[in-house]
Amino acid sequence: MTYQTIIFSLEAGVARLTLNRPDRLNAFDSKMHEEVADALGVVERASDARVLLLAGAGRGFCAGQDLGERKRGPGDPPPDLGESIELRYAPLIRRLTNLELPVVCAVNGVAAGAGANIALACDLVIATQSSRFIQSFVNIGLVPDAGGTWLLPRLVGGARALGMAMTGAPVSAADAEALGLIWRCVPDAEFAAEVEALVAKLASAPTRALAASKLAIRSAWGNSLSAQLDLERDLQRSLGLSADYAEGVAAFGEKRPAKFRGN
Ligand code: T3D
């Protein structure tokens, strides 16, 4: 598929998906939904993919739903937003969180509406100091979606989640890091290098172990301690049979860096 609204590549284990409608702050229109879904399919099917980097072109990460698509003329019926969530946003969040790879989101400016919550659904969010996260839904009379109402209270607690949802107040990247909303806030000048270093580290890590950590930590939010202990047992049993575990233990014994191959 030739893409018009995203830039996508998969090289040396690193899949890069850049939202590319910078004049609309990378807001999602139907085409972008279609293309992101297609690119995610490529990543899901690629046996050599070891990390996905999601980013935005231009001065922002993503401003959520393209509101140009929601303009109505006199007499036009209202759009079915439930259908949009069911067919587009919810599957996207499910796919990002279920992907058996680490997903890094590089936030290079504003992340608003569903754009904020798509970022927060990724495993590691790294943002420039000048970035802002905005639950802007309230400004147009909507509720946070794309998993925001589930994720925000788990990440920052109910009081702050409600504050963000009800006021739509921008949260700076520094505050987002301090609150535990994102992994790291970095100076703008160091952002590109920090993103590349993180991606390179993850691309040479034991991929199956990363996928197991993702599954276990995401499952913990719904599991009892007992269920979680069972899950850890099962995951560790499976990882104990992996080539990367054998390599890790051998490398430790031989006092050399491990060369993980992701299997
Ligand atoms: O509808 C459904 O399917 C249901 C699901 C909904 C999910 C959602 O995401 S709902 C929330 C939608 N998003 C928003 O409400 C955010 C709207 N945007 C803003 O509030 C502001 O643009 C920002 C706070 C994100 C950034 O402000 P600022 O001052 O840095 O930039 P700007 O000047 O407002 O925006 C720059 C351009 O991008 C501007 O176009 P122009 O005037 O230069 O031609 C602006 O119109 C455009 N833009 C920004 N956000 C959107 C957008 N165009 C279309 N849709 C957008 N969401």
Among protein residues, the one with the nearest Cα to ligand 1's atom 16 is 63
Q: Which two tokens stand for residue 240?
A: 């104990």
Distance between CA atoms of residues 31 and 202, nearest Å: 30
Distance between CA atoms of residues 92 and 84, nearest Å: 11
- The reply to whether ligand 1 has any atom less than 6 angstroms from the CB of 116 is no
Enumerate residues 6+ apart whose C-beta is below 8 A from 164.
135, 144, 152, 156, 171
The model carries a pTM of 0.98
Cα 263 to ligand 1 centroid, rounded to whole Å: 42
Cα 130 to ligand 1 centroid, rounded to whole Å: 17
Among protein residues, the one with the nearest Cα to ligand 1's atom 5 is 65
Q: Which two tokens stand for residue 101?
A: 């790879």
- The reply to whether ligand 1 has any atom less than 6 angstroms from the CB of 111 is no
Counting ligand 1 atoms within 8 A of each CB, the residue from 20, 21, 23, 25 with the most, and so the one to mutate, is 25
One pLDDT digit (tens) per residue for the chain, 263 residues? 899 999 999 999 999 999 999 999 999 999 999 999 999 999 999 999 999 999 999 999 999 999 999 999 999 999 999 999 999 999 999 999 999 999 999 999 999 999 999 999 999 999 999 999 999 999 999 999 999 999 999 999 999 999 999 999 999 999 999 999 999 999 999 999 999 999 999 999 999 999 999 999 999 999 999 999 999 999 999 999 999 999 999 999 999 999 999 99
Q: Which two tokens stand for residue 72?
A: 């109505």
Among protein residues, the one with the nearest Cα to ligand 1's atom 20 is 136
- The reply to whether ligand 1 has any atom less than 6 angstroms from the CB of 118 is no
Closest CA to 105 of 176, 206, 34: 176
Cα 65 to ligand 1 centroid, rounded to whole Å: 8
Cα 72 to ligand 1 centroid, rounded to whole Å: 17
Contact call for residues 202 and 122 (beta carbons, < 8 A): no
